[in-house]
Structure 1
Amino acid sequence: MKRILANLVTLTLLCGAVAASFIWLQLDFSALVTADGREQMARYVAAFFPPNTTPAWLAKLWQGALETLAISAIGTLLAALFGAVLSLLAAGRMGAVARSLCRLLLNALRSVPELVWAALMVLAAGLGPFAGTLALALHTTGVLGRLFAEALENTPTAPAVALRESGAGRITAFLYGTLPGVLPQWLSYTLYRWENNIRMAAVLGFVGAGGLGQMLHVTLSLFQQSKASSVIIAMLAMVLLVDALSGWLRARLG
């Protein structure tokens, strides 16, 4: 009985919080169902069709898609390299102090969203793909570094210990005793983050970080809905293609 009462109180509080949110934000959904609201939405949606498929615009889309792909790929690659190095510290391979400091750094890197990093990098490096690449690399380093460190911590130490007892150095023991056990996981994590970074790279353009996102921001700002529609279609096609490729590669690695 007490549990039922507690659940009812919790549900009542949640409903009250939702109602208070609607009142506080002054959301008026009735405007969406009025005749004028429906007419405006229909005109706006109709402006997106048909998508612009002129050869000149398709050439720009192709260039933007390649730029977005390059931003995500280079950003993920840099993050994987730095994340691998930092994971050695975060896993305690260099002592407890280095472990604590490195985990604090990784937490700080991944706690800042990519869009915030992109806004900061645009101010530091200027508009363009370089800012987007740095933003993805910084955030993803924090994510991959933590995942790589956890993989290292869960890897059996027996092979590396056996090599050390046989006279091998620390680097040799890591390369032949530890790395083969964690490398498939590291590659799988990297490919999964690349999938996410493809989507994020397409969005970072809204803060001036280049690629398809910047093209979408410009076309929407200029009310060029037909061009914006083709950009959205290009984004969807690229994301689906990369998702399929990454899934196939992760299945092969698994």
Structure 2
Amino acid sequence: MKPGLPPPPPRSIGTPLLMLLLLALVVASFASLDLQWAAFFAPDALTSAREFLAGFTPPETAPAFVARTLGALWETLAMSLVGTLLAVIGGLLLALPGSGRFGAVARGVTRVLLNVLRSIPELVWAALLLVAAGLGPFAGTLALAAHTAGVLGRLFADALENVAPQPEAALRDNGAAPLAAFLYATLPQALPQMLSYTLYRWENNIRAAAVLGVVGAGGLGQMLKYHLSLFQMQSAATVVIAMLLLVAAVDGASFALRRALTR
């Protein structure tokens, strides 16, 4: 240590201890699970897997079936768009009290509500809402909106809490109304981050919407479940390809939009 320099801070044992605990948890997880790797890579298992995958070729390309697949693709895309839009509206409304703008009590209650919304997976929301809304994309859209509102509400609230409060306080000191001060000073600071969160969740909702059809919520997932249940593997392969193309297109569009927002 050089003369005149303060002594280095004492090293904390918290981080190494946390890493050891995580390592112990991983080891315990492998030890507690009955992972039959030998059976998975056995010759019979590999032969069965190869025969199963061979049944997916060639994909179904009949014009009528392709048209139905495109209709289901649009339904999945529409579910993700509407579900994300509803989630943005609900998340923003919950983020305002969740960021502490209306007091500590409102913040605590709203944070608990947001935890409940995002703790329930989309599939569980869909299974619950199918009872009320019936089979079809409406229940899937509401399921996406409910779960994503919890996620975005928490992220939006954190973004609003982390912005600099001085610009809004200066506007209010000069006579601006609270709503106007929020819209012109606080919201513009958090808006780029909030838009980035929204686009990222839209990507996730595309994948979730494709899966929600398994419980009868419409779209590509419902088509996939139907054809797999009838062992129509070639038709199922076409649906899987449509899912991959949709996810890839949305990922590319979302990435380009996020790049444009950060320039």
Structure-2 residue corresponding to 1:30: 39
Q: Distance in 2 between matches of 1:127 and 1:47?
A: 30
Could you list the per-position Cα deviations for residues 94-153 of structure 1 after superposition, in whole angstroms to 9, with x for gaps in the alignment? Answer: 111111100000000001111111111112211100010000000000000000000000
Q: Distance in 2 between matches of 1:73 and 1:31?
A: 39
Q: Distance in 2 between matches of 1:128 and 1:211?
A: 8
Structure-2 residue corresponding to 1:47: 55
How far residue 250 of structure 1 moved from its aligned partner, in angstroms, is 0.7
- Return closer, same or farther for 1:153/1:235 CA change in 2, 3 Å cut-off: same
Q: Distance in 2 between matches of 1:210 and 1:194?
A: 18
- Return closer, same or farther for 1:114/1:166 CA change in 2, 3 Å cut-off: same
Q: TM-score, normalised by structure 1?
A: 0.90
Residue number among 136, 143, 146 corresponding to 2:144 in the alignment: 136
Which ranges of 4 or more aligned residues in structure 1 deviate by more than 4 Å?
7-17
SS in 1 for 2:183: helix
Residue number among 108, 112, 115 corresponding to 2:116 in the alignment: 108
Structure-2 residue corresponding to 1:178: 186
Percent identity, aligned pairs only?
Answer: 56
Structure-1 residue corresponding to 2:215: 207
SS in 2 for 1:51: coil
- Please state which structure has a larger fraction of its residues in helix: 1
Query: Which ranges in structure 2 are unaligned for 5 or more consecutive residues?
Result: 1-12, 14-18
Query: Which ranges in structure 1 are unaligned for 5 or more consecutive residues?
Result: none
Q: Distance in 1 between matches of 2:142 and 2:83?
A: 6
Residue number among 17, 23, 30 corresponding to 1:18 in the alignment: 30
Q: Distance in 1 between matches of 2:227 and 2:190?
A: 45
Q: Distance in 1 between matches of 2:83 and 2:20?
A: 48
Q: How does 1:222-241 map to 2 (within 5 A)?
A: 222-241=230-249
How far residue 181 of structure 1 moved from its aligned partner, in angstroms, is 0.9
2:171 is the counterpart of 1:160: no
Q: TM-score, normalised by structure 2?
A: 0.87
Structure-2 residue corresponding to 1:73: 81
